[in-house]
Amino acid sequence: MLARLLTRPYPSRHDRPLVLGHRGASADAPENTLAAFREAVRQGADGVELDVMRCGSGELVVCHDEWLDRLAGEHLEVARTPLVALRRLDVGSRHSARFTGERIPTLAEALAVLPRAAVCNVEIKCDTLLDRGLSFRVAREIRRSEAGQDLVLSSFNPLSLARARFFAPRLPAALLVDTSQNLPLREAAARALGAAAVHVEHRLCTPDSVRRWHRQGFKVAAWTVDEPGDVERCCAAGVDVLISNRPRAVLVSIDRLGIAD
C-alpha cells in the first residue's frame, strides 16, 4: 500500500472523471499517430492512452497491432521490421484520405507532441515471458523525456508490469483487466505488483466493483467507453478515468449528466 501511496496515478479532478483519448482520439484520426494525439488534446481530453512495442531495430514505436495488415495494408511484423522501413508506411489513409502519409511515431515523438499538462498512459504491449528489453527501454525513454507529463505505465502482462515497477519504481503502474480474466487473481496480482491503478474493461464497472477496487487502494480507469449509456454507468459507478476513442463525445455526455461543475 505504501508503494502505491508514493506513486499516486492521475491527478484528481473533483468535478468529473479524467478523460483520456484511447490511442489518441482514434475515432477521428488514425490510432496511435501524432494526429490522433493532437486531436485528443484539441477535443479537450485530459490526455491519451497509447500502445508501445519494440520494432525490429529496437526502437520504441507507438503501435497496437503486432502485424501491420490492418493499419498499413502490409503483411509486416513490427517486431521484425526496422524503424527505417516502418517510417515508410502510411498508417493514415486507411482511416481517411486526409490523413494520408501519417506515420507510426516513436514513443519519444509521441511524448514530445503532448502538452506538459497532459496525462499519458503508456500501455506496454508484450504477451511473452521475455520482453527483449521493452520495459527497461520504456522506463529509460520516460526518464530521458523532458516533456514532463503525468505518466502511468500499464500492461495486461504482469511480468511487464513487474519489470516496469523495477526499472521505474517512481512511476505509477496499472494492471489491465478484461472480462475474460479471473478477477480475484488479477486483483491479487495488482496488489502484489504494487500497482496504483487497475485499468478495467468498462463492462466490469459497477458501484460494488469500483468500491472494492477503491478499498484496495487502486484508482480505476475504464476502457473503452464511447457510448453515452456506458459513460453514465461508469460515472455512476465512481470510476476515476474514462478511456475513450471519442473524448469530446464523452465530455459532452458527462456535461449532460450534470456532474461537471
Binding site for Mg ion (CB under 5 A): 51, 123
- Among candidate residues 14, 64, 75, 202, the one labeled active-site is 64
Residue at shortest CB range from ligand G3P: 223
202 is known as an active-site residue: no
In DSSP notation, 21-40 reads EETTTTTTS-TTSHHHHHHH
Q: What is the spatial distance between Cα 168 and Cα 45, in angstroms, rounded to a whole number?
A: 26
Residue at shortest CB range from Mg ion: 123
Q: How deeply is 90 buried, as exposed, middle or buried, from its count of CB atoms within 10 A (0-12, 13-18, 19+)?
A: middle
- Among candidate residues 14, 22, 199, 214, the one labeled active-site is 22
Q: Which residue number, 217 or 239, has a Cβ lying nearer to Mg ion?
A: 239
* Residue in the structure block whose three cell numbers are 503525468: 150
Q: What is the spatial distance between Cα 18 and Cα 46, in angstroms, rounded to a whole number?
A: 6
The number of C-alpha atoms within 13 Å of 40 and in the hemisphere containing its C-beta is 34
Q: What is the spatial distance between Cα 84 and Cα 105, in angstroms, rounded to a whole number?
A: 12
Q: Which residue number, 85 or 201, has a Cβ lying nearer to ligand G3P?
A: 201
In the complex, the smallest distance separating the C-beta of residue 123 from ligand G3P, rounded to whole angstroms, is 5
In the complex, the smallest distance separating the C-beta of residue 121 from ligand G3P, rounded to whole angstroms, is 7
99 binds, among ligand G3P, Mg ion, none (CB under 5 to 8 A by kind): none
176 binds, among Mg ion, ligand G3P, none (CB under 5 to 8 A by kind): ligand G3P
95 is known as an active-site residue: no
243 binds, among ligand G3P, Mg ion, none (CB under 5 to 8 A by kind): ligand G3P
Q: What is the spatial distance between Cα 62 and Cα 179, in angstroms, rounded to a whole number?
A: 25
User: Which residue numbers are catalytic?
Assistant: 22, 64
